[in-house]
Copies of this chain bind each other. A is one copy, B any other.
Amino acid sequence: MEKVVVGLMGFGNIGSGFAAILEENKEQIESSLGRSIYIKRILVKDPENFRDMNKGEEYFTNNADLILSDPEIDIVVELIGGVHPAYEYITRALESGKHVVTANKAVIAKYGRELFALADKNRVSIRFEGSVGGGIPIIATLIRSLAGNQFEEIVGIINGTTNYILTRMEEADMSFEEALAEAQAKGFAEADPTSDIEGEDAAYKISILTHVAFGVYVKPEDVPRTGITHITEEEIKFASQLGYKIKLLATVRRNNNSGSLDIHVHPTLVPFEHPLASINHEFNALFIKGNAVGDLMLYGKGAGSLPTGSAVVGDVMEIVRIMKNNIFEEKLYTSRYHTEPASISLGRSAYYLRLQVKDKPGVLGNIASAFGRNGISLQSVVQRGRGSLSVPLIFITHEAERDKLDQALNEIRKIEEVEEISSILMVQKNPE
Protein backbone atom coordinates (compact mmCIF):
# COMPACT_ATOMS: atom_id res chain seq x y z
CA MET A 1 0.00 0.00 0.00
CA GLU A 2 1.28 3.46 -0.87
CA LYS A 3 2.45 5.48 2.13
CA VAL A 4 1.71 9.09 2.99
CA VAL A 5 4.48 10.50 5.15
CA VAL A 6 3.69 12.78 8.08
CA GLY A 7 6.01 14.93 10.16
CA LEU A 8 4.46 15.59 13.55
CA MET A 9 5.39 18.73 15.48
CA GLY A 10 4.44 18.44 19.14
CA PHE A 11 3.75 15.34 21.18
CA GLY A 12 1.72 16.69 24.07
CA ASN A 13 -1.92 16.07 24.76
CA ILE A 14 -3.21 16.37 21.18
CA GLY A 15 -0.08 15.09 19.41
CA SER A 16 -0.05 11.87 21.37
CA GLY A 17 -3.81 11.49 20.84
CA PHE A 18 -3.33 11.92 17.09
CA ALA A 19 -0.61 9.24 17.01
CA ALA A 20 -2.70 6.88 19.16
CA ILE A 21 -5.72 7.17 16.84
CA LEU A 22 -3.57 6.47 13.76
CA GLU A 23 -2.38 3.30 15.44
CA GLU A 24 -5.64 2.15 17.03
CA ASN A 25 -7.76 2.75 13.91
CA LYS A 26 -5.10 1.84 11.35
CA GLU A 27 -7.10 -0.84 9.57
CA GLN A 28 -10.15 1.39 9.35
CA ILE A 29 -8.16 4.35 8.02
CA GLU A 30 -6.27 2.32 5.45
CA SER A 31 -9.38 0.63 4.12
CA SER A 32 -11.04 4.02 3.79
CA LEU A 33 -8.11 5.69 2.02
CA GLY A 34 -6.33 2.90 0.19
CA ARG A 35 -3.18 4.52 1.63
CA SER A 36 -1.31 4.10 4.87
CA ILE A 37 -0.36 7.09 7.01
CA TYR A 38 3.12 6.92 8.44
CA ILE A 39 4.63 9.26 11.03
CA LYS A 40 8.28 9.55 10.08
CA ARG A 41 9.44 11.99 12.73
CA ILE A 42 8.17 13.84 15.80
CA LEU A 43 9.40 17.22 16.99
CA VAL A 44 9.67 17.41 20.79
CA LYS A 45 11.49 19.68 23.23
CA ASP A 46 13.69 16.98 24.68
CA PRO A 47 14.14 13.75 22.69
CA GLU A 48 15.91 12.21 25.70
CA ASN A 49 12.51 11.88 27.43
CA PHE A 50 11.38 9.48 24.73
CA ARG A 51 14.52 7.35 24.51
CA ASP A 52 12.89 4.29 26.12
CA MET A 53 10.14 4.24 23.48
CA ASN A 54 12.79 2.61 21.26
CA LYS A 55 11.68 4.37 18.13
CA GLY A 56 15.16 4.58 16.62
CA GLU A 57 17.57 7.42 16.04
CA GLU A 58 15.96 10.79 15.34
CA TYR A 59 12.34 9.55 15.34
CA PHE A 60 11.97 12.00 18.20
CA THR A 61 13.95 15.14 17.43
CA ASN A 62 14.29 18.71 18.64
CA ASN A 63 15.47 19.82 15.21
CA ALA A 64 12.55 21.23 13.21
CA ASP A 65 14.65 21.19 10.03
CA LEU A 66 14.61 17.41 10.01
CA ILE A 67 10.88 17.73 9.33
CA LEU A 68 10.63 20.97 7.36
CA SER A 69 13.52 20.16 5.01
CA ASP A 70 12.71 16.48 4.48
CA PRO A 71 11.40 16.13 0.91
CA GLU A 72 9.85 12.78 1.80
CA ILE A 73 7.41 14.37 4.26
CA ASP A 74 4.10 15.18 2.56
CA ILE A 75 2.09 16.59 5.46
CA VAL A 76 3.25 18.59 8.47
CA VAL A 77 0.94 18.23 11.47
CA GLU A 78 1.56 21.19 13.79
CA LEU A 79 0.38 20.55 17.35
CA ILE A 80 2.87 22.48 19.45
CA GLY A 81 0.44 25.33 20.16
CA GLY A 82 1.22 29.00 20.84
CA VAL A 83 1.97 31.56 18.16
CA HIS A 84 5.76 31.26 17.89
CA PRO A 85 7.50 29.27 16.54
CA ALA A 86 4.34 27.46 15.32
CA TYR A 87 3.56 30.26 12.86
CA GLU A 88 7.09 30.18 11.41
CA TYR A 89 7.04 26.37 11.09
CA ILE A 90 3.67 26.43 9.31
CA THR A 91 4.92 29.16 6.96
CA ARG A 92 8.07 27.20 6.12
CA ALA A 93 6.10 23.99 5.59
CA LEU A 94 3.70 25.67 3.15
CA GLU A 95 6.58 27.37 1.34
CA SER A 96 8.26 23.97 0.94
CA GLY A 97 5.11 22.65 -0.76
CA LYS A 98 4.00 20.58 2.23
CA HIS A 99 0.37 20.33 3.28
CA VAL A 100 -0.34 21.50 6.82
CA VAL A 101 -2.83 20.35 9.43
CA THR A 102 -2.99 22.31 12.65
CA ALA A 103 -5.25 22.70 15.69
CA ASN A 104 -3.65 26.03 16.56
CA LYS A 105 -6.41 28.58 17.14
CA ALA A 106 -4.03 31.44 17.92
CA VAL A 107 -2.05 31.08 14.70
CA ILE A 108 -5.15 30.66 12.52
CA ALA A 109 -6.98 33.55 14.20
CA LYS A 110 -3.99 35.88 13.89
CA TYR A 111 -2.43 34.77 10.61
CA GLY A 112 -5.14 32.74 8.87
CA ARG A 113 -5.65 35.15 5.99
CA GLU A 114 -1.96 35.24 5.19
CA LEU A 115 -1.52 31.48 5.56
CA PHE A 116 -4.52 30.62 3.35
CA ALA A 117 -3.05 32.84 0.62
CA LEU A 118 0.37 31.25 1.07
CA ALA A 119 -1.16 27.78 0.77
CA ASP A 120 -3.00 28.80 -2.42
CA LYS A 121 0.22 30.28 -3.83
CA ASN A 122 2.10 27.04 -3.18
CA ARG A 123 -0.86 24.92 -4.28
CA VAL A 124 -1.05 22.98 -1.04
CA SER A 125 -3.75 22.57 1.61
CA ILE A 126 -3.98 23.94 5.12
CA ARG A 127 -6.64 22.54 7.45
CA PHE A 128 -7.55 23.42 11.02
CA GLU A 129 -10.74 21.60 12.08
CA GLY A 130 -9.27 20.96 15.55
CA SER A 131 -8.74 24.67 16.23
CA VAL A 132 -12.41 25.26 17.16
CA GLY A 133 -14.63 22.92 19.14
CA GLY A 134 -12.22 19.97 19.45
CA GLY A 135 -13.81 16.96 17.78
CA ILE A 136 -16.92 18.85 16.61
CA PRO A 137 -16.86 19.11 12.79
CA ILE A 138 -17.71 22.81 12.67
CA ILE A 139 -15.32 24.00 9.95
CA ALA A 140 -16.30 21.18 7.55
CA THR A 141 -19.98 21.81 8.26
CA LEU A 142 -19.70 25.52 7.51
CA ILE A 143 -17.52 25.15 4.42
CA ARG A 144 -18.90 21.94 2.93
CA SER A 145 -22.28 20.73 4.08
CA LEU A 146 -23.81 24.18 4.53
CA ALA A 147 -22.03 25.75 1.55
CA GLY A 148 -25.40 26.59 0.01
CA ASN A 149 -26.43 28.74 2.97
CA GLN A 150 -26.03 32.38 3.84
CA PHE A 151 -25.25 32.39 7.53
CA GLU A 152 -27.23 34.62 9.83
CA GLU A 153 -25.79 33.72 13.18
CA ILE A 154 -23.34 31.47 14.98
CA VAL A 155 -23.61 31.29 18.75
CA GLY A 156 -21.35 28.96 20.61
CA ILE A 157 -20.14 27.63 23.88
CA ILE A 158 -16.59 27.24 22.60
CA ASN A 159 -14.51 27.34 25.74
CA GLY A 160 -14.69 24.16 27.79
CA THR A 161 -12.85 25.59 30.81
CA THR A 162 -15.37 28.35 31.48
CA ASN A 163 -18.30 26.07 30.77
CA TYR A 164 -16.94 23.57 33.26
CA ILE A 165 -16.52 26.29 35.89
CA LEU A 166 -20.01 27.76 35.36
CA THR A 167 -21.61 24.31 35.42
CA ARG A 168 -19.87 23.35 38.66
CA MET A 169 -20.70 26.68 40.29
CA GLU A 170 -24.34 25.97 39.58
CA GLU A 171 -24.64 22.26 40.29
CA ALA A 172 -22.29 22.07 43.29
CA ASP A 173 -22.86 25.54 44.74
CA MET A 174 -19.21 26.45 44.37
CA SER A 175 -17.60 29.85 44.22
CA PHE A 176 -15.76 30.85 41.06
CA GLU A 177 -12.43 30.23 42.81
CA GLU A 178 -13.44 26.75 44.03
CA ALA A 179 -14.72 25.72 40.63
CA LEU A 180 -11.57 27.04 38.94
CA ALA A 181 -9.40 25.07 41.39
CA GLU A 182 -11.39 21.92 40.64
CA ALA A 183 -11.11 22.51 36.89
CA GLN A 184 -7.35 22.86 37.27
CA ALA A 185 -7.14 19.68 39.36
CA LYS A 186 -9.07 17.79 36.67
CA GLY A 187 -7.02 19.16 33.81
CA PHE A 188 -9.84 21.27 32.37
CA ALA A 189 -8.06 24.53 33.20
CA GLU A 190 -4.42 25.49 32.84
CA ALA A 191 -2.16 26.65 35.65
CA ASP A 192 -2.52 30.14 34.20
CA PRO A 193 -6.20 30.21 33.22
CA THR A 194 -6.26 33.85 32.10
CA SER A 195 -6.83 33.26 28.39
CA ASP A 196 -9.82 31.01 29.06
CA ILE A 197 -11.56 32.86 31.89
CA GLU A 198 -11.06 36.30 30.30
CA GLY A 199 -12.63 35.14 27.04
CA GLU A 200 -9.49 35.44 24.90
CA ASP A 201 -9.57 31.79 23.84
CA ALA A 202 -13.22 32.16 22.77
CA ALA A 203 -12.34 35.39 20.90
CA TYR A 204 -9.72 33.49 18.85
CA LYS A 205 -12.28 30.86 17.96
CA ILE A 206 -15.14 33.22 17.05
CA SER A 207 -12.68 35.17 14.90
CA ILE A 208 -11.92 31.94 12.98
CA LEU A 209 -15.61 31.09 12.59
CA THR A 210 -16.41 34.63 11.42
CA HIS A 211 -13.69 34.30 8.82
CA VAL A 212 -14.90 30.93 7.56
CA ALA A 213 -18.66 31.58 7.65
CA PHE A 214 -18.92 35.28 6.79
CA GLY A 215 -15.71 35.82 4.82
CA VAL A 216 -14.80 38.67 7.12
CA TYR A 217 -11.55 38.87 9.00
CA VAL A 218 -11.88 40.31 12.49
CA LYS A 219 -8.67 40.39 14.46
CA PRO A 220 -9.13 38.40 17.68
CA GLU A 221 -8.02 41.42 19.70
CA ASP A 222 -10.84 43.45 18.11
CA VAL A 223 -13.54 41.06 19.32
CA PRO A 224 -15.33 42.77 22.24
CA ARG A 225 -15.08 40.38 25.14
CA THR A 226 -16.00 40.02 28.79
CA GLY A 227 -14.87 37.02 30.82
CA ILE A 228 -16.51 35.21 33.72
CA THR A 229 -14.29 36.20 36.67
CA HIS A 230 -16.96 38.49 38.11
CA ILE A 231 -19.77 35.89 37.99
CA THR A 232 -20.84 34.92 41.50
CA GLU A 233 -22.81 31.95 42.84
CA GLU A 234 -25.45 34.48 43.85
CA GLU A 235 -25.75 35.68 40.24
CA ILE A 236 -26.19 32.11 39.01
CA LYS A 237 -28.96 31.59 41.56
CA PHE A 238 -30.75 34.80 40.59
CA ALA A 239 -30.57 33.77 36.94
CA SER A 240 -31.84 30.29 37.73
CA GLN A 241 -34.85 31.69 39.62
CA LEU A 242 -35.70 33.70 36.52
CA GLY A 243 -35.43 30.63 34.26
CA TYR A 244 -31.93 31.08 32.85
CA LYS A 245 -28.49 29.51 32.96
CA ILE A 246 -25.40 31.68 32.70
CA LYS A 247 -23.10 30.62 29.85
CA LEU A 248 -20.11 32.28 28.25
CA LEU A 249 -21.34 32.69 24.68
CA ALA A 250 -19.34 33.66 21.64
CA THR A 251 -21.58 35.22 19.03
CA VAL A 252 -21.35 36.48 15.49
CA ARG A 253 -24.51 37.74 13.82
CA ARG A 254 -25.30 39.47 10.57
CA ASN A 255 -26.99 42.74 11.39
CA ASN A 256 -29.51 43.06 8.61
CA ASN A 257 -30.23 46.72 9.29
CA SER A 258 -26.73 48.13 9.35
CA GLY A 259 -24.93 45.52 7.23
CA SER A 260 -22.37 45.25 10.02
CA LEU A 261 -21.50 42.14 11.97
CA ASP A 262 -22.35 41.92 15.64
CA ILE A 263 -19.60 39.98 17.32
CA HIS A 264 -18.75 39.44 20.96
CA VAL A 265 -17.80 37.06 23.73
CA HIS A 266 -20.01 37.76 26.75
CA PRO A 267 -21.50 35.98 29.77
CA THR A 268 -25.13 35.52 28.82
CA LEU A 269 -28.38 34.36 30.37
CA VAL A 270 -29.65 31.45 28.27
CA PRO A 271 -33.31 30.44 28.75
CA PHE A 272 -33.72 26.90 30.10
CA GLU A 273 -35.56 25.85 26.91
CA HIS A 274 -32.70 26.92 24.62
CA PRO A 275 -30.61 23.94 23.46
CA LEU A 276 -27.43 25.73 24.57
CA ALA A 277 -28.71 25.78 28.18
CA SER A 278 -28.24 22.02 28.48
CA ILE A 279 -24.58 22.01 27.39
CA ASN A 280 -22.71 21.27 30.58
CA HIS A 281 -19.24 20.67 31.99
CA GLU A 282 -16.42 20.62 29.46
CA PHE A 283 -18.71 20.13 26.47
CA ASN A 284 -18.85 22.65 23.63
CA ALA A 285 -21.71 23.42 21.31
CA LEU A 286 -22.24 25.53 18.22
CA PHE A 287 -25.62 26.86 17.31
CA ILE A 288 -25.79 27.91 13.65
CA LYS A 289 -28.55 29.72 11.79
CA GLY A 290 -28.45 29.51 8.00
CA ASN A 291 -31.01 30.99 5.64
CA ALA A 292 -31.72 27.54 4.18
CA VAL A 293 -30.94 25.01 6.91
CA GLY A 294 -32.58 27.02 9.71
CA ASP A 295 -31.32 26.20 13.22
CA LEU A 296 -28.61 23.60 13.52
CA MET A 297 -26.60 22.65 16.58
CA LEU A 298 -23.41 20.61 16.90
CA TYR A 299 -22.38 19.38 20.33
CA GLY A 300 -19.38 17.43 21.56
CA LYS A 301 -16.11 17.41 23.45
CA GLY A 302 -14.45 20.72 22.74
CA ALA A 303 -11.00 19.67 23.81
CA GLY A 304 -8.95 16.68 24.87
CA SER A 305 -6.44 14.35 23.40
CA LEU A 306 -8.70 12.00 21.44
CA PRO A 307 -11.55 14.34 20.43
CA THR A 308 -9.19 16.96 19.03
CA GLY A 309 -7.00 14.14 17.68
CA SER A 310 -10.07 12.87 15.83
CA ALA A 311 -10.43 16.22 14.06
CA VAL A 312 -6.72 16.23 13.14
CA VAL A 313 -6.92 12.68 11.74
CA GLY A 314 -10.02 13.69 9.75
CA ASP A 315 -8.11 16.64 8.25
CA VAL A 316 -5.10 14.48 7.39
CA MET A 317 -7.39 11.94 5.70
CA GLU A 318 -9.04 14.68 3.62
CA ILE A 319 -5.61 15.82 2.47
CA VAL A 320 -4.65 12.26 1.57
CA ARG A 321 -7.79 12.07 -0.60
CA ILE A 322 -6.73 15.28 -2.32
CA MET A 323 -3.17 14.00 -2.80
CA LYS A 324 -4.47 10.74 -4.25
CA ASN A 325 -6.40 12.64 -6.85
CA ASN A 326 -3.55 14.99 -7.46
CA ILE A 327 -5.84 17.98 -7.25
CA PHE A 328 -5.74 21.29 -5.51
CA GLU A 329 -8.59 22.97 -3.69
CA GLU A 330 -8.14 26.66 -4.22
CA LYS A 331 -9.71 29.35 -2.05
CA LEU A 332 -11.47 26.89 0.20
CA TYR A 333 -11.78 29.43 3.00
CA THR A 334 -11.45 32.62 1.03
CA SER A 335 -14.06 32.39 -1.70
CA ARG A 336 -16.56 34.16 0.53
CA TYR A 337 -14.24 37.10 1.16
CA HIS A 338 -15.88 40.46 1.10
CA THR A 339 -13.93 43.19 -0.58
CA GLU A 340 -14.78 45.59 2.22
CA PRO A 341 -14.29 44.43 5.78
CA ALA A 342 -17.58 44.75 7.63
CA SER A 343 -17.86 47.16 10.50
CA ILE A 344 -18.05 45.45 13.85
CA SER A 345 -20.46 46.26 16.65
CA LEU A 346 -21.77 44.72 19.84
CA GLY A 347 -25.23 44.76 18.31
CA ARG A 348 -28.59 44.83 20.01
CA SER A 349 -29.28 42.51 22.89
CA ALA A 350 -31.58 42.18 25.82
CA TYR A 351 -29.65 42.73 29.05
CA TYR A 352 -29.79 41.46 32.61
CA LEU A 353 -28.76 44.13 35.09
CA ARG A 354 -28.29 43.71 38.81
CA LEU A 355 -28.11 46.85 40.92
CA GLN A 356 -27.58 47.18 44.64
CA VAL A 357 -29.82 49.99 45.97
CA LYS A 358 -31.03 51.50 49.23
CA ASP A 359 -34.60 50.35 49.80
CA LYS A 360 -36.26 53.78 49.87
CA PRO A 361 -39.51 54.96 48.29
CA GLY A 362 -39.09 56.35 44.80
CA VAL A 363 -35.84 54.57 43.90
CA LEU A 364 -37.43 52.26 41.40
CA GLY A 365 -39.27 55.17 39.81
CA ASN A 366 -36.07 57.18 39.40
CA ILE A 367 -34.22 54.26 37.86
CA ALA A 368 -37.06 53.36 35.54
CA SER A 369 -37.26 56.97 34.37
CA ALA A 370 -33.56 56.97 33.52
CA PHE A 371 -34.05 53.85 31.39
CA GLY A 372 -37.07 55.45 29.75
CA ARG A 373 -35.25 58.70 28.92
CA ASN A 374 -32.64 56.68 27.05
CA GLY A 375 -35.13 54.56 25.14
CA ILE A 376 -34.49 51.38 27.10
CA SER A 377 -37.70 49.48 27.76
CA LEU A 378 -37.94 46.92 30.51
CA GLN A 379 -39.14 43.35 30.24
CA SER A 380 -39.15 42.62 33.96
CA VAL A 381 -38.04 43.93 37.32
CA VAL A 382 -37.42 41.78 40.37
CA GLN A 383 -36.57 42.96 43.85
CA ARG A 384 -35.02 40.41 46.16
CA GLY A 385 -34.80 40.55 49.94
CA ARG A 386 -37.26 43.36 50.71
CA GLY A 387 -36.97 44.87 54.12
CA SER A 388 -33.20 45.23 54.43
CA LEU A 389 -31.54 48.58 54.06
CA SER A 390 -29.76 47.58 50.88
CA VAL A 391 -31.42 45.29 48.35
CA PRO A 392 -30.55 43.87 44.95
CA LEU A 393 -32.76 45.04 42.10
CA ILE A 394 -32.75 43.02 38.90
CA PHE A 395 -33.84 44.36 35.54
CA ILE A 396 -34.21 42.49 32.28
CA THR A 397 -34.44 44.91 29.39
CA HIS A 398 -35.90 44.48 25.95
CA GLU A 399 -33.37 44.54 23.10
CA ALA A 400 -31.26 47.65 23.18
CA GLU A 401 -28.07 49.13 21.79
CA ARG A 402 -25.22 48.91 24.25
CA ASP A 403 -24.36 52.61 24.02
CA LYS A 404 -27.92 53.62 24.93
CA LEU A 405 -27.77 51.23 27.85
CA ASP A 406 -24.47 52.69 28.99
CA GLN A 407 -25.94 56.20 28.82
CA ALA A 408 -28.85 55.09 30.99
CA LEU A 409 -26.51 53.40 33.45
CA ASN A 410 -24.40 56.56 33.70
CA GLU A 411 -27.47 58.47 34.77
CA ILE A 412 -28.51 55.69 37.12
CA ARG A 413 -25.10 55.67 38.79
CA LYS A 414 -25.73 59.27 39.84
CA ILE A 415 -28.95 58.45 41.70
CA GLU A 416 -28.15 58.76 45.38
CA GLU A 417 -29.78 55.48 46.45
CA VAL A 418 -27.93 53.42 43.85
CA GLU A 419 -24.95 51.88 45.59
CA GLU A 420 -23.58 49.70 42.81
CA ILE A 421 -24.27 48.38 39.35
CA SER A 422 -23.22 44.84 40.16
CA SER A 423 -23.77 42.98 36.90
CA ILE A 424 -24.36 43.57 33.21
CA LEU A 425 -25.04 40.30 31.38
CA MET A 426 -26.57 39.67 27.98
CA VAL A 427 -29.80 37.67 27.59
CA GLN A 428 -30.13 35.17 24.75
CA LYS A 429 -33.37 34.92 22.80
CA ASN A 430 -35.06 31.58 22.41
CA PRO A 431 -34.68 30.13 18.93
CA GLU A 432 -37.83 30.76 16.87
Contact = CB atoms under 8 A, between A and B. Distances in A.
Contact of A298 (B298, B309, B321, B329): B298
Given A140-B141, A297-B298, A297-B299, 14 more contacts: A22-B148, A25-B291, A32-B335, A32-B336, A129-B145, A147-B317, A148-B314, A278-B278, A290-B310, A292-B306, A292-B307, A294-B301, A296-B299, A297-B300
Interface string A305-330: 01101110110111001000101110
Given A135-B296, A293-B300, A301-B293, A150 B28 contact: yes
Interface string A127-153: 001000001110011001111111000
Interface of A: 17, 21-22, 24-25, 28-29, 31-34, 129, 135-137, 140-141, 144-150, 275, 278, 290-301, 304, 306-307, 309-311, 313-314, 316-318, 321, 325, 327-329, 335-336
A99 B335 CA distance: 24
Contacts of A336: 28, 31-32
Closest 5 interchain pairs by CB? A148-B313, A137-B145, A292-B310, A135-B293, A296-B300
Nearest to A27: B150
Contact of A141 (B28, B141, B278, B327): B141
A31 to B, nearest CB: 5
8 contacts: A28-B150, A33-B335, A34-B335, A136-B296, A141-B141, A147-B317, A292-B310, A293-B306
A295 B327 CA distance: 33
